[in-house]
Chain A
Amino acid sequence: MSRQKKWAFLVASVCLMMVFTAACNSGGAGNTGSSSSKSSTGTASTSTSDNGVITDWSKQPEMTLTVFDTLANFAGEQPGWFAKLIKDKFNIKLNIVAPNLSGGAQMIATQMASGDLGDLVVGLGGKDYENAIKSGMILDWTKDGLLDKYGKNLEKYAAQALDANKKQYGGGTAIYGIGHNVGTGDGPSEGADMTFGPMLRWDLYQKLGSPQIKTLDDYLPILKKMQEMDPKSDSGKKTYGMSLWSDWDGDWSTLAKVTAQFYGYAEGDGFNPGDMILTKADGPEYQGFLDDNSYYMQGLEFYFKANQMGLLDPDSLTQKFGDVSNKFKDGQVLFSQFPWVSNVYNTPAHTSAGKGFALVPFQDEKVYSSGFNPYGGQWIWSIGAHTKDPARVMAFLDWLFSPDGVQETSIGPKGLAWDIGKDGKPALTDFGKKATANGDTPVPAQYGGGTWKNGVSALNNATLTTSQINPNTGEPYDYNLWNSTLTANPDPVTKSWREAMGVITGKELFVKNNQVAVTKPFFNGQPAAQEPSNIKLKHSQVGKVIKEYSWKMMFAKNQDEFDQLKQQLVQKAKGLGYDDVVNWEVQQTKNTVFTMYK
């Protein structure tokens, strides 16, 4: 009997071992995220140049690239006109994996732990990026002369950014990727509009006689009057001065933080990972988020006062961005922090009736601008080390960084939404005018079908800055900045705004009045330092408290409660290590970005 028992035990343990090892294997590097269906071994001789470099990818067998994209807001196979464009050029399909849609940071962590990031990796930066390189998940572009063979445009248009990546992450020899939004030039890098506003309902503001707005607080009485003038939205709902959302909050309330951007400050310094300090775009100055009169605190106070006056949408805390966007569409909100939020109201139906949002800055404003960065930003484009066809991925990436690629990614293939006019300059076609005003415009089947909106590139990361000049057309890549667009017959709202302000675009207005703080690109050949583990823990604890109390402060019943909450916030945050986090971040900024001003 004991022999039998032993035998059974042996069988059991062998079984367990087998299951155990099988489980381990399947969880390891064997888990192929890259679903590259076919490799391109059989190279057609007609599509290669003399030295064996493939020049015409459309003749290669079709393959699907798995794109791990931390910035994408769309998952699955890229549809529509962009899909058709790259299918014709490279015979590839893009299968987009979007952590944004499923689990965020956790999904990135899971994918990192699996050891394979797919064929093309978009937007990975900071510590994750460094770890991915360390553990061999990112391809070195200098291997087998890959970059020299297939990266001509990258070398031509983004040489400094390649070099920066080499110094920062490749030990001076290897190149593991390229930063986003690469550009050279002075002044703000934004397009016709800046990223930040504030925007007001122009029609109501004009009816009030365009009162002068000196400080941020001056908006409040104006908004109150506007609310009284227009108490109901299109669908008959109550109007509010402002409507906020909390689903984009990080370690603070995002909308309150935007106040700092109105004054030329932003969270962190643009180079280091810290976000507990507000740093000036163009000078060696900083504030802690919780400093007594920091721009963040001013922002909280601004919304608190708005709430006291009945201007703040009471759903602000519980609703999501989508709900707010719908309220803007309906005309329920009168003030917006960003042009791209309120633009949904400026439909032809509204603007032809004279109703629409337009930029109305306050006198003290100094808007934050990201500026051109020849070294590239932190959302890095890179290639997965396990990809089956590195050459094709490289060639595709190279095209994305080429003038043609940038132009066609932003506004579609030539001939569909835009074309070169008789004067040799680019202009929107009739279809283009329709499509840019209304994303639901159907696209002809020969260009991929579907609607304009769903055909837009889902990669959602910039390559070259689109406000730069396209050498092929002599005009910027961004159609909003084309001469043909700027001189086209504007809608009544835009027309009256241009007449009142004496400029054509929002950017021009800020520049004219010297109200822009432009970030200077920083580069010292080193990657940014990463938070040590104890700081990281404190950071997340403090962030949680700041976020929580910020909303409580905005919705405080009276000034006393506001002050009380403010005091509690500071006390609690300091108790959880706020000062340590800020000190660490300030130290990093002083060691890096601030050295530019010495």
Chain B
Amino acid sequence: MSASLTKTADSALTRKRFQIKDKYTLFLMALPFLVLVFLFSYLPLYGWIYAFYDYQPGIPLANTDFVGLQWFTAMVSDQVQRAEMFRVLRNTFAISSLGIVTSILPVIFAILLTEVRNSKFKRIVQTLTTLPNFISWVLVYSFAFMLFSVNNGFFNHLLMSLGWISSPTNILADDNHVWLAMTLWGVWKGLGWGAIMYIAAITSIDSELYEAARVDGANRFRQIWHVTVPGIIPTYFVLLILSIANFINNGLEQFFVFANAMNMNHIEVLDLYVYNIGMGNSNFGFATAVSIMKSIVSLFLLFAANGLSKLIRGQSII
């Protein structure tokens, strides 16, 4: 009896020891990544301190004037300024919302693509649609200028020679449909790239499900509707929640290259505004203050979207 007891205790001890060792190695394995996360995600938060100073590059912070909340109050100091912030936020929200609405397009595209039987054609289409993702926005703009410039643009030439318009139009300097145009450029650039994740999700759907559906007499459309779509919905929602967290950051480059005086009113999103006011004029304190506000709003949006997902689907990512 006592011998068996010792034995049990012994094995428990070994197990426990092994467990400790296990945890220890796992921790060590994770450590480099924790360090990276700390370095690139938490350490930069130290830079937030610049929002409270009148920072001049070259002068150490210790010799710089402390200005308290001046940059934060500057954002809402008077009516015109508030209107500016409101305008910029409106643009940000509009373009981001359109982006979220169109985020369904890569899903549809992925489904259609997987339904194509000719694998050669499929590969060509996928390559061609993924390619724009790797072209920089600067190049995209020069491409757009070639296409749409008034004097020598292909588009105006075509329409004029077809006799559809009598005088050329300047599409790049048009303020009326900027949000839509920017969204379309974004879709053009990101469609193939965005579809990759969904194609992966579709290929991992159990083929037995399709067979079962076929046995039950489902046609191709029914198979898509009852097997493929439910199969990739979770992926879509995860990506959706992540994109909602990024709602307020819609990037700078695209809007920077397409911006001009005519469309500035509607194209100037928060990131571009920060660049124009803060970086372009070395107003680093103000730029930092605005980006702090942005981070806080992003965090709030992420938790809100996550909570909503929990409420509606019973699933969440955090």
Contact = CB atoms under 8 A, between A and B. Distances in A.
Interface of A: 1, 4, 8, 11-12, 15-16, 19-20, 23, 105-106, 108-110, 112-113, 115, 127-128, 131-132, 134-135, 137, 237-238, 246, 313-315, 317-319, 327, 332, 533-534, 536-537, 539-541, 543-544, 547-552, 555, 572, 575-576
Contact of B58 (A113, A533, A534): A113
B286 to A, nearest CB: 6
Contacts of A536: 281, 283
B35 A575 contact: no
B59 A4 contact: no
A12 B265 contact: no
Nearest to B261: A551
A548 B264 contact: yes
B67 A533 contact: yes
Contacts of B168: 314
Contacts of B262: 317, 551-552, 555
A313 B151 contact: yes
Contacts of A1: 20
Contacts of B43: 20, 23
A569 to B, nearest CB: 11
Kindly name the residue among B20, B35, B58, B74 whose own CB sees the greatest number of chain A CB atoms within 10 A. B58
Given A540-B280, A551-B261, A551-B262, A318 B172 contact: yes
Give the size category of B's interface with A. 35 or more
A109 to B, nearest CB: 4
A441 B71 CA distance: 54
A158 to B, nearest CB: 26
B80 A112 contact: no
Query: Interface on chain A toward B: helix, strand, loop, or mixed SS?
Result: helix
18 contacts: A1-B20, A16-B35, A19-B35, A20-B39, A128-B58, A132-B58, A246-B260, A314-B150, A314-B170, A318-B149, A319-B145, A327-B151, A533-B285, A534-B70, A534-B74, A536-B281, A541-B277, A575-B81
A12 B32 CA distance: 9
A128 B59 CA distance: 10
Nearest to B67: A533
A317 B24 contact: no
Nearest to B148: A318
Interface string B217-242: 00000000000000000000000000
Interface of B: 20, 24, 27-28, 31, 34-35, 38-39, 43, 54, 56-60, 63, 65, 67, 70, 74, 78-81, 84, 145, 149-152, 168, 170, 172-173, 260-262, 264-265, 276-277, 279-286
A105 B276 CA distance: 12
A540 B281 contact: yes
Contacts, number: 128
Kindly name the residue among B59, B74, B261 whose own CB sees the greatest number of chain A CB atoms within 10 A. B261
Contacts of A112: 57-58
A106 B278 CA distance: 10
A540 B277 contact: yes
Contacts of A314: 150-151, 168, 170
Contact of B74 (A108, A317, A537): A537
A8 B30 CA distance: 12
Kindly name the residue among B265, B279, B281 whose own CB sees the greatest number of chain A CB atoms within 10 A. B281
A399 B265 CA distance: 51
Query: Interface on chain B toward A: helix, strand, loop, or mixed SS?
Result: helix
Contact of B149 (A108, A315, A544): A315
7 closest residue pairs by CB, A with B: A575-B80, A551-B261, A112-B58, A540-B281, A112-B57, A109-B57, A131-B58
A238 B57 contact: no
Contacts of B24: 4, 8
B292 to A, nearest CB: 16
B59 A317 contact: no
B27 A533 contact: no
A571 to B, nearest CB: 8
B279 A572 contact: no
Given A314-B151, A317-B261, A534-B70, A12 B58 contact: no
B170 A544 contact: no
B43 to A, nearest CB: 7
Contact of B170 (A105, A128, A135, A318): A318
A238 B160 CA distance: 14
A522 to B, nearest CB: 25
Given A317-B260, A541-B81, A544-B276, 9 more contacts: A12-B27, A105-B282, A131-B57, A313-B151, A314-B170, A315-B151, A317-B170, A317-B173, A318-B260
Contacts of B284: 109
Contacts of A315: 149-151, 170
Contacts of B31: 11-12, 15
Given A1-B20, A576-B84, A537 B145 contact: no
A15 B35 contact: yes
A131 B56 CA distance: 8
B286 A537 contact: yes
Given A20-B43, A575-B79, A237 B260 contact: no
A541 B151 contact: no
Nearest to B78: A575
Given A4-B20, A109-B57, A127-B56, A19 B281 contact: no
Nearest to A233: B151
Contact of B59 (A135, A319, A540): A135
